[in-house]
Chain A
Amino acid sequence: MKIIKKLVIAFVLIYLITLGLVYVDVYDSRPIVSLFKNFQSDSSLDIVDFSVENKKSERPKPAPNKNRNPYYGDLHVHTKYSFDAYVFGVTASPDDAYKYAKGEGIKHPLGYEMKLREPLDFYSVTDHGFYMGMIQAYADTSTEISQNDFAEPFHNINRLENLTVESAGQRSNIFSSVLGATIIQPYPDWHPKLLMAYLTRNTQLALKSFDYDIHKSAWADIARSANEHNDPGHFTTFIGYEFTTSTDIEGGNLHRNVIFNSSEASIRPWTRIDSTNPEDLWTWQDRLREKGVDTIAMPHNSNGSNGQMFEMETFKGNAISKEYADKRMRNEPIVEITQVKGTSETHPLLSPDDEWADFEIMDVRVGSRPPTYSKPSGSYVREAYLSGLTLDFTKQGNPYKFGLIGSSDTHTGAGAFDENNYWSKVGLLDGDPENRGSVPLAEENIDRLTEYMQAFNQPLSTVDLEQGTYANTGFTQWGASGLAVAWAEENTRESIFNAFRRKETFATTGTRIAVRFFGGYDLSSIDLNSDSLVSESYQKGVTMGADLMQDDDKIPEFIVWAKKDKNGAPLQRVQIVKGWIDSNSGRPKEKVFDVACSDGNEVDPVTNRCPDNGAKVNISDCSITDNVGSSELKTLWKDPEFSSLDKSFYYVRVLENPTCRWSTWDAINRGYQPREDLHETIQERAWTSPIWYIPNASDVDVIPLGGTIQLRTID
């Protein structure tokens, strides 16, 4: 008896001491118990090969093209495994999502069919890593975890009978309050699960509402589905997820998608529960890379980041160093410039001289309720390129030397890319024109919407305009965008992933424009009308995403070649956007040059603008002017204001003739005039990754007054 008593006491004592040490280790950064760290394993670094049994596809793989083909895809797709998508009524699985991308029709939560006009070449299901798969398990009343109090509001929410527009209020409420703090309750400090969480570096285990097995099986299903649908030569998939982090200040969105380069991936996604600091994500990616698994992360919705995505300092407020810049670029070579929740190229306040800057602007922080303004500076891509040059100027490295892609961020498994076939992205909340605010509300729906928006913590739920009362849901700032395009030798995982790494990519607003872009010093020797134009350009120059090094005083030349979407509107103009640091003043500057005009028009050398080509849209039926605009535009351009000392970047923007915006289509299809406070038309467009001009290293030191920039390494 005594021995047992002693054993029990000894066990309790050892347990308490262990907890004490863990406590010190977690809350005290001094290396008192660093020895203890040796007992920790890291579950996030376990690699699993999710590959499926060889399918022996009979379809022959087309020969690779050394001049590369443009492959169109979407790298930002949510399904039922995302905590929020499930609440929005989405029951589409990753399998459904991939089927959709290959051209099959799938069902919207409201019952109608969603189908692409043309299949895509690649697709990645990127569900939120945070609480992946959990909400679905809460809803399924046969699971053990659904029997807990916190799971009750989710019970059966997506049974067919509950998929109604009327349920939107309850859903918004769940989304904004229940999903927040209430379900994330840690176990008490003494609980063995806490010790377990510490020993496997897996904080999630310490949460009552978390079931690791369910989480892992959702992730495994996502990986299985990606591998099952991958068809080398014909259709490419990537195992992926979204790292949904933010700053401590509400709505400082720092979301990133992560995709894997092969059929192998970690046993679980690294999520915001592991750390909210993106630098820790990059450390994790670096470690995976050491183990032979390459990943890239792609930030998105910088527009809703309240200036936090492209800051001049780190997440913790330290100075950016060359190490930071290298690490960021190693892990985040591309950025999503456009998606349903607005376009992040630039903002009218940041680029007052750019007539096309006011394009699909979403001016609030992501998910903020009530809607809260997002500060433009630090939130847009063009300014980030300039900030990168400035940081480089002060010898801190350039952390913003990224390429560009677009994607949808759909939460229904199916991206909506066409203005005249649009279902927005959050399922039951914006799946019909009344709720997304493009047509007036029916009398009986006004009360319902008011109730629904109150649940969503948005006091002003409607707005009275000439034609009636409209929903003021914020969805009017969203749009039918965008696509990621990779220039790759063939449609395989390896080839397309390498294109992302090279940044040989461009983004479109959903249209299938294609654009080539080369820079060099001897491109004028190439005949623009020769069949060897592309192969010669690759030989003599660099392409989008690359660096063009200084060559004495030679002036860079650029070749741009754009072609229209065969189902879309003709092209209106091609522009080159230049940004640079004036080496005399140190000021960042930007300028937009039209370089090719439709219909054989010439660019005015003084204003750098094309003349109006006269293309119009008839708002009563959305028809566009016939025979105006070009099916392709091609030119050689030399920078007329070039200075060989200035660090610069050049990227291409291709503009289509104007067409109706989705909100106009919604209205006229239902017999209304377009809503008066929205843009009636848009100009679909594409942006390439920049080519950076790199002047020879200068030996001038930049010494700020007061010395606030503290750098660990300068070279």
Chain B
Amino acid sequence: MKYKIFIFFIIGILLYVIDIGLNSYDEKEIYISDQEIISLVSAWKSQVGRNPTDDEIVRIINNLVEEEILYREALNLGLDQDDKIIKRRLAQKISFLKQESIVDNPSNNELLDYFNNNKDKYFVEPTFTFTHYYFSNDNDALERSNEAINQISNNLDVSSDPFFLGKNFVDVSLNSIKSDFGENFATYFNNFKINEWSGPVESAYGYHIILVINSHDGYYPDITMVLKQVEIDLLQSKRDKAVSEYLDNIKSEYKIYINPNLQI
């Protein structure tokens, strides 16, 4: 048994030696493919607008050869090691490749997946219809609004201030309430009472006594209603994420060591 393993080992070494013998790779030999020359000549042509003369072709090839020689010598000297410019250039090269590989026309499944994963983007916000009494910060707002809520419960008339953006708000979204009254005020609508005067609720401008008359719950629309938008968003996100996804995938293959004791 032992011998058999040994035989395989010897065959392996033999194969390796034969391989080296057949494909002897000499660092001092340069092969230039037809393809390379043709592509350089056509680039030259499109830049200059005519075919290069024989002299010029010689020059193009010489340049290529010299570039290759300098490149190899630089590698021999280890100049590619730890060069930030080269690192970044290569990093950018691959990120462009990844970005450009995005194909248009997503499939139905892709669209559905994207929609399901980003449902909140398409959430139709709840809306509210309400009226209010406003008490300006410039004029004892808190005191007067507390008084007002008592007056209302006793069916007395309330004397309030006119609010800049009006008294009655019909079918307005939470975002527009935020923009008209401020974040603080909008939190009232997370837990509001319907058809019941309540407050005082503080806004950026003073205090309010609010009566919510009507509200519509928010809901998630069917994908068919927002299909066009989903398609637009999906393509955009694919372009944005191409690089980061690639990076995330490949990151797991690396082990990363950083000195935890480094003092900066």
Contact = CB atoms under 8 A, between A and B. Distances in A.
Interface stretch (A23-31, A62-70, A213-221, A472-480): A62-70
B207 to A, nearest CB: 12
Interface string A131-175: 000000000000000010000000000011100000000000000
B236 A95 contact: yes
Given A59-B124, A60-B127, A631 B138 contact: yes
A160 B100 CA distance: 14
Contacts of A534: 162, 166
Contacts of A65: 166
Contacts of B173: 59, 62
A119 B136 CA distance: 26
B25 interface: no
Interface stretch (B31-39, B62-70, B102-110, B220-228): B220-228
Contact of A63 (B88, B170, B216, B229): B170
A563 B161 CA distance: 13
A55 interface: yes
User: Interface SS of chain B: helix, strand, loop or mixed?
Assistant: mixed
B208 to A, nearest CB: 13
Interface residues of B, number: 41
Contacts of A539: none
A55 B229 CA distance: 7
B171 interface: yes
- The listed residue with most A CB atoms (<10 A of its CB), out of B136, B138, B229, is B138
Contacts of B124: 58-60
A294 B203 CA distance: 40
A63 B171 contact: yes
A62 B176 contact: yes
Interface in B225-250: 225-226, 228-229, 232, 236
Given A58-B226, A62-B127, A69 B172 contact: no
Contact of A67 (B127, B136, B138, B166): B166
Interface residues of A, number: 38
Interface stretch (A272-280, A365-373, A412-420, A525-533): A525-533
Contact of B138 (A52, A161, A632): A632
Interface in A74-111: 95
B205 A631 contact: yes
Interface in B167-209: 167, 170-173, 175-176, 179, 181-182, 203-206
- The listed residue with most B CB atoms (<10 A of its CB), out of A56, A159, A514, is A56
Contacts of A529: 161-162
Nearest to B127: A60
Contacts of A563: 164, 205
A514 B166 CA distance: 13
B164 A62 contact: no
B216 A60 contact: yes
B166 to A, nearest CB: 6
Contacts of A630: 138
B165 interface: yes
A118 B183 CA distance: 11
Nearest to B161: A529
Contact of B179 (A52, A118, A564): A118
A561 interface: yes
A69 B216 CA distance: 22
Given A60-B124, A62-B172, A631-B137, 4 more contacts: A60-B216, A62-B176, A534-B162, A566-B204
Interface of A: 52-53, 55-56, 58-60, 62-63, 65, 67, 69-70, 95, 118-119, 147, 159-161, 228, 514, 516, 528-531, 533-534, 561, 563-564, 566-567, 600, 630-632
Interface of B: 46-47, 88-89, 92, 95-96, 122, 124-125, 127, 136-138, 161-162, 164-167, 170-173, 175-176, 179, 181-182, 203-206, 216, 221, 225-226, 228-229, 232, 236
7 contacts: A59-B125, A65-B166, A119-B179, A160-B96, A530-B162, A566-B203, A632-B164
